[in-house]
Structure 1
Amino acid sequence: MPIKITTRRKAVGTALTLGILLIAAAVTLNISWIILNWREFWMLLIGGIFFLVIIAGMILNTIFLVREIRRNEQHDSFINAVTHELKTPITSIRLYLETLKKRSVDEEKRKQFYDIMLDDTDRLLRTVEQVLKAGSLAQKREVQNFKPIEIEPILRDSMELVATRNHLAPELLHWQIEPIPNEHYTVLGDAEELRTAFLNILDNAVKYSREKVDIGVSLVAPTIDQVEVRVTDKGVGIPRGELKRIFKRFYRAANPGVKGTGIGLFIVRAIVKRHGGKVSAASEGAGKGTTVTLELPRIFTT
């Protein structure tokens, strides 16, 4: 992987250098043209237009090349991450199955092996579901079978599921601002898609908290026609320059030791956008935690 990255960086440098040289050559040619034909107005006008077209084409071509090289680099990183996320649990499951087949283990140890294999199976299933979901959301779908959804029960279920599968004590994943009793936080949408979005944000908060897991969840209605879900952690934080990039497909912030495929927040953004809302992230910087906010249009039913 480092060899590929180095090769692509060289390719980016080559593309930029070539583009700059071509632009410099075009500028030199145009200046020469002006000097030679400064008395001919129409010749100067045609030359100037031709020059601008050439420059614009060169700039666009250079931008396109650089973007394609970076996109391919992100795609390769994604493939490597997915391969790792699939291979690791499969290897673990195989190891425990071989142990159970070749050795006689007591009932307590056998139960422990089964629990580990079930956890690995869940991890494997989540990775496959993430990849499939990202593929389906990347395609534009015009048909939307949305209906009124109360998001509080879905959010509560998501919190319980994430706490259970990450073996978190109840106080580590808690309400920072609890929903107002008897208040209806209703949106028009798809329950399973919203559940996927909530799970991805909560899983991300746990993953990037590392050993400092302390996650607060808020469900509020800041205006009469809006619902907000906020998830705040005290983890590794996000540099200011990466706050918008983290929602791009395949993009992964540079955090050594943190596993992932780089599509979780892309899925969140796609789902929220389909529901007419928006998602954003805020952080004071590295080591100062992150708050992810989902904003959704609120509806009232009779």
Structure 2
Amino acid sequence: MDRSLRRHEIVRHVCWLMALAATVALGRATVIDGESLSLIWPAAGVAVCWVLVSRGSARPWTVLAIGVVVAVGNGVSGASSGLVLGLVAANLTQTLIAAYALEQVVGHLRGCGGREPLVRVGDVGRILLVVLGACLPAALIGTATLALLDSPVSEMGALAWYGRNVIGLLCVVATWLLLLQARAESPNRLGAFVAACFGSRREGLPMRFAELALLLGLTLLPWAGIGTRPDDLLFVLLVLMIWAGLRFAAPAVVAYGLYSGTVGVGFTLADGPALRAIEDPVMLALHVQVVVAVTALTGLALALNRAERDAVVAELAATAREQEAEATKMARILDTVADGLIVIEPDGSISLSNRAARELLGVEDLTSVLTSEEYGLHAMDGKPVRDEDLPYRTALRGESFPARDYQVRRPSVPAGRVVAIGALPLPGEPVRALAHLRDVTAERRQHEALSSFAGVVAHDLINPIALVQGWAETIAVELEDGPLDPAIGAPMVERIQVGAHRMRSLIDDLLGYTLARDAQVLPQAVDVTALVEEIALLRESGPRRPIVQVEPRLVAWADRALVRQLIDNLVGNSIKYTDPDLRPVIAVTGRQQGSWVELRISDNGVGIPPDQREAVFTAFERGGTALSSGTGLGLAICKQIVERHHGTVHAEAGPHGTGTTIVVRLPRTPAAYDEPQGGAVKESVPAQRVAIS
């Protein structure tokens, strides 16, 4: 064992030894003249507490020390050796029985082997039963010893002996258990003292201490016979004890009971006026014990009732806080769920909804009854949904409703929304419904787009395939009649090549569209000016030989490969949609918009009609110009690339009212890549252009 720990144990046992010696001396000092009976015997409680704190091998030594102290204390006060032996036997029997029984009956309490505080009145009742049972053998041993020593004790004397042990043991053990709890609740001695006096209520401490001092002072008056008659003594002390029980903590109340009893014993020994009318010393002792017992138990019951009530209230408050915290946590979790959740009560009212549900239905407050008219629910054919056909109605009947698509048409949802709503019954009574909402607008639109996409692809592939197949069959027929004249076969082969080229162009554009949509974006600093120059050099060897003008020092934070595809498509479109009699002229300029860069690609082509400038970015839309050709995927690919960089793209008229200007907005810095679009436009002076012809 560690030396410091062993030293601490030794000091603790020495303190208990001194406390026992002091209480034995106090008890012997209250022996009634002519009787071998003490009015009080607090040593009974101190001995039990000492045994309870002694564990293992220390307990036998503690029992031996208790026997020695009791023997010495009684021997010094003049008791005969026979009486000393009897009193030692009585005290040890009482101590061992009480300690063992307390560990068995209330072993859950702090001080008796457990960790729980003494706050229940039921535990006090159990302690009282243990004390009553333990003190009975001691009283029998004591009275039998006196009888053997020719000093018989009357029945009332034996009862007084039994009563003083019961009161001493009960009050001291109860006080000790309550003080242990107060010490456990506070890390320092001052805090423990305040907790023992006032519990958890620490407000107005000076006034509370003044109140306690007043109570202690007033307790002297009835015992001194001031302002009360002897017959009123118990009533007045009960009033004071009720005051203590209602205002102070349980340890202070029990300690006050000991204080009141000690004061009573002192006035009794001093022949105080309160009990002067009682001449029989045994009856006087019984009277004092009854007064102390009734007041102490009353105060203890009141204090513990209040402590138990406070503990229940605190537990309920803690449970309420935990439930509130759990509800708040669940509400936050539900609000992070992308799908909408609504709990509907049997009367149709809504008891719970998350943020997604409110956003999907386009309402701020989702507490009223869910009706199709109020929330703008329509079937997919446009007809309003009858309230009795809503999904949650089926769930309230105990059946699950599989998800079905509904349209939400409300002023707060101007573009409309398609929501898949399903419902299922929640377990328990009464049956409630859980409605599940999921936004499927994008899925339905994508499904429609894929259907349209498949139709257009099939149409655009069938034509060149039919062309190739038709001319191939024609060549085969011609070859059946003999060698084919090159003058006749050459045009046929050329037409087959045209069809194959159209199929190849469509397939290439489809692959480009897919890559622009699905390829991983790896952003980095991209020199847009260098890319334009590179593309212009490659186009220079083509049949149209465009003139490309580009501003220097144009930089974006983007995927280099995708931006190259973007520029190449835009330059190619400008060349394709320029009158064959004109040489294409393309100007690429830029300006800074905060942390974004705006690129403007202008040409001298045929232009795009105003009513088609938005539609041309749709897949397979070729525009309504005389030069319309190709697959109609070029600008759709550009839009995919720009949107994957969180940017925007749109078409405008050319700078001089002719041709077209495509305006592209891309991130300019790494921080801008994840920023929402916006910010004030900061005009910049165009730099000198570099012409490539």
TM-score (norm 2): 0.28
User: Residue type of the partner of 1:292?
Assistant: I
Contact 1:149–1:190 (CA under 8 A) maintained in structure 2: yes
Residue 569 of structure 2 corresponds to residue 192 of structure 1: no
| Superposition map of 1:94-113 within 5 A | none
Q: Partners of 1:135 and 1:159 in 2: how far apart?
A: 25
* 1:207-255 residue CA offsets vs partner (Å, 9 max, x unmatched): 22243544333333312742514132331x2222221121122333234
- Give yes or no for the alignment of 1:282 onto 2:604: no
Q: Which residue does 2:512 correspond to in 1?
A: 133
Deviations 1:24-51 (A, max 9, x none): xxxxxxxxxxxxxxxxxxxxx98x9444
Corresponding position of 1:234: 605
Matches of 1:192 and 1:294, distance apart in 2? 16
104 and 270 in structure 1: CA distance in 2 versus 1, 3 angstrom threshold: same
1:52-103 deviations in Å (ceiling 9; x for gaps): 5676332639988x97998445642343234446776x689989x99xxx77
How many residues are treated as equivalent by the alignment? 238
What are the superposed Cα offsets for residues 119-142 of structure 1, whole Å, 9 maximum, x if unpaired?
998766543221112123334x6x
Supply the distance in 1 between the matched residues of 2:564 and 2:464 (Cα, whole angstroms): 22
- Do the aligned residues in 2 keep the contact of 1:228 with 1:294 (CA within 8 Å)? yes
Structure 1 residues 77-156: aligned runs within 5 Å: 77-84=456-463, 125-139=504-518, 143-156=520-533
Higher relative contact order (CA 8 A, sep 6+): 1
Check conservation: 1:85, 1:127, Cα contact below 8 A: no
Q: Does 1:179 align with 2:562?
A: no
User: Which whole-Å CA distance do the structure 1 matches of 2:646 and 2:470 have between them?
Assistant: 41
Provide closer, same or farther for how the CA distance between residues 118 and 56 of structure 1 changes in structure 2, counting only shifts above 3 A. Answer: closer
Alpha-carbon distance in 2 for matches of 1:198, 1:86: 31
**Deviation sequence 1:253-286 (CA, Å, 0-9, x none):** 23466222221111111112223432210138xx
When residues 207 and 119 of structure 1 are mapped into structure 2, their CA distance, relative to the original with a 3 A threshold, is: same
- Say if 2:643 is the partner of 1:273: yes
CA distance in 2, matches of 1:259, 1:223: 34
| Distance 1:262-1:79 versus aligned 2 partners, 3 A rule | farther
Q: Classify 1:82/1:258 alpha carbon distance in 2 versus 1 (closer, same or farther; 3 Å).
A: farther
Identity %: 16
Query: SS at 1:188's partner residue?
Result: strand
Letter in 2 for 1:231: S
Post-superposition offset of 1:202: 1.9
For 1:207, the aligned partner's letter is K
- CA contact under 8 A between 1:188 and 1:299: conserved in structure 2? yes
Q: Which has the larger radius of gyration?
A: 2
Residue 56 of structure 1, aligned match among 378, 383, 390: 378
Distance in 1 of aligned mates of 2:667 and 2:599: 9
> 1:200·1:265 contact (CA, 8 Å) conserved in 2?
yes
CA shift, 1:198, in A, is 1.6
Query: Which residue of the other structure, out of 155, 159, 163, is the alignment partner of 2:536?
Result: 159
Contact 1:201–1:231 (CA<8 Å) still a contact in 2? no
Q: Deviations over 1:171-191 (max 9, x none)?
A: xx223x5424xxx32222333
Tell me which amino acid in the other structure corresponds to 2:574.
Answer: A
Looking at structure 2, the residues matched to 270 and 281 of structure 1 have their Cα atoms a distance apart, in angstroms, of: 15
Q: In structure 1, how many angstroms separate the alpha carbons of the residues matched to 2:622 and 2:448?
A: 13
Asked if 1 retains the 8 angstrom alpha-carbon contact of 2:376 and 2:408, the reply is no
- Is the alpha carbon distance of 1:136 and 1:126 closer, same or farther for their aligned partners in structure 2, counting shifts above 3 Å? same
Deviation at 1:204, TM superposition (A): 1.8
